[in-house]
């Protein structure tokens, strides 16, 4: 899911105060107007992780069968994807409100998304594989992304396009393994989750 956020950094890096870039399609954004609003909210990401036991034959109580997991995880990811798609995209380095809204929303949604995914993954027989190939990588990328995004937020608060562009350059340089995660999720059957990575 970091791909569209990093696209924001790349787009802003090339902007100046007189010629904002065109909006990149699919970039996520948030709803707050202050960088201090980056704390996760449990209501930010659609449905909470399901807490019911699987009814599939042969599956231990409390553990999700793979088909049940795929249904629940894809539903959760669809809700997240819809929220990200609905968020506004900054028009350029001088669209300070758009930048703040975009990144604050991402910082609010991502931790909840990861937490809900982790709760579902914990109930599958494929937990180790999913952790290694999806969540461990997602968490590491987000850990690198967060401080860079907060730097862009601070720069946007200064209303200085040069500072915003410099911070956006740093944001565009953070690790991004979205394409690798996307391919894995598609192969596993998590098409909705893969779509978050593919934006």
Q: Which of 80, 93, 88 is nearest to 30 (CA)?
A: 88
**Per-residue pLDDT, 10:** 43
Handedness of CA 132, 128, 2, 198 (dihedral sign): positive
Q: Residue 53 and residue 105: Cα distance in Å, rounded?
A: 32
Domain regions of the chain by residue span? 2-11+65-198
What pLDDT, in 10s, does the model give residues 172-184? 999 999 999 999 9
Q: Which residues, given as ranges, of the chain have pLDDT below 50?
A: 1-7, 9-10, 13-57
The SS3 of residue 88 is coil
How many helices (H) and strands (E) the chain has is answered by 8, 0
Q: Residue 137 and residue 123: Cα distance in Å, rounded?
A: 19
**Per-residue pLDDT, 108:** 96
**Per-residue pLDDT, 93:** 86
**Per-residue pLDDT, 113:** 97
Predicted TM-score (pTM) of this structure = 0.73
Whether residue 35 contacts residue 150, with contact meaning beta carbons closer than 8 Å, is answered with: yes
**Per-residue pLDDT, 157:** 96
């Amino acid at each position: 899911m970091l791909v569209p956020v990093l696209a924001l950094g790349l787009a802003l890096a090339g902007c100046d105060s007189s010629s904002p870039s065109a909006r990149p399609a699919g970039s996520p954004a948030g709803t707050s107007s202050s960088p201090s609003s980056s704390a996760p909210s449990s209501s930010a990401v659609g449905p909470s992780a399901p807490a019911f036991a699987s009814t599939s034959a042969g599956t231990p109580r409390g553990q999700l069968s793979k088909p049940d997991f795929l249904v629940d995880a894809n539903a959760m990811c669809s809700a997240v994807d819809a929220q990200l798609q609905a968020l506004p995209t900054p028009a350029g380095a001088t669209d300070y409100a758009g930048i703040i809204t975009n990144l604050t929303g991402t910082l609010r949604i991502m931790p909840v998304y990861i937490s809900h995914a982790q709760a579902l993954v914990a109930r599958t027989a494929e937990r180790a594989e999913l952790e290694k190939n999806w969540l461990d990588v997602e968490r590491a990328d987000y850990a690198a992304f967060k401080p860079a995004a907060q730097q862009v937020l601070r720069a946007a608060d200064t209303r200085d396009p040069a500072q915003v562009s410099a911070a956006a350059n740093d944001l565009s340089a953070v690790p991004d393994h979205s394409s690798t995660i996307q391919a894995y999720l598609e192969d596993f059957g998590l098409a909705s989750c893969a779509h978050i990575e593919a934006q």
